[in-house]
Chain A
């Protein structure tokens, strides 16, 4: 059974940085497609980033140049490094994995990131 859990969310000032982590069990960061999806309060889903098993990454235009996705194979954990945060980055951030692409087969419960002074 796949279980994912995010950590690292919280309140951060505009311009600041935050790193989200996604760990759990029942999956391997070396085999799956690893993704982050966000949802602003009361809004719809927005894809953020993906890391393919082979190492290729893609990012949404709204975060390109500010966010990066990576993984730690020893810890079986993947990350979303968020820099130069803006108020419009305020959202619940979900990590997700899939065996095929595009897809989000399993999701974590989400972690809230609030960007505010």
Chain B
């Protein structure tokens, strides 16, 4: 069972907007920055969002992050077929003294 809670699955049709949530606690999401990672099948993960809501230069602006209290969210607008894959949130946990990941959300583009 993961310290950060994500929905196991999400789906949408091309062009739609999908939001993936990440719920934690005061010792992790509530106190530290949240990053999001995308993993398409049979490849290594890649950074999507860092520091709650900042995109690396190579990530399209269809991807955005937000955080409020002990919950964070990833939004994907203008959904495309290549967005299919697994999405993970992650942050530092002050109680565990380590990085914690969410269990991952499998995104399907219908």
Binding site for B on A (CB under 8 A): 35, 37, 44-47, 50, 58-61, 94, 100-110
- Chain A nearest CB from B40 CB (Å) reads 12
Q: Is the interface of B mostly helix, strand, loop or mixed?
A: strand
The answer to whether B21 has its CB under 8 Å from any CB of chain A is no
- Contact present for B92 and A45 (CB under 8 Å): no
Cβ-neighbour of B92 out of A101, A106, A107 (below 8 A) = A101
The answer to whether B110 has its CB under 8 Å from any CB of chain A is no
Can you list 6 A-B pairs with a CB-CB distance of less than 8 A? A44-B86, A102-B35, A104-B45, A105-B47, A106-B47, A109-B43
- Contact present for B2 and A44 (CB under 8 Å): yes
- Contact present for B88 and A44 (CB under 8 Å): yes
The answer to whether B76 has its CB under 8 Å from any CB of chain A is no
- Contact present for B90 and A102 (CB under 8 Å): yes
Closest to A105 in B: B47
Instruction: Among A61, A94, A102, find the residue whose CB has the most chain B CB atoms closer than 10 A.
Output: A102
- Contact present for A61 and B96 (CB under 8 Å): yes
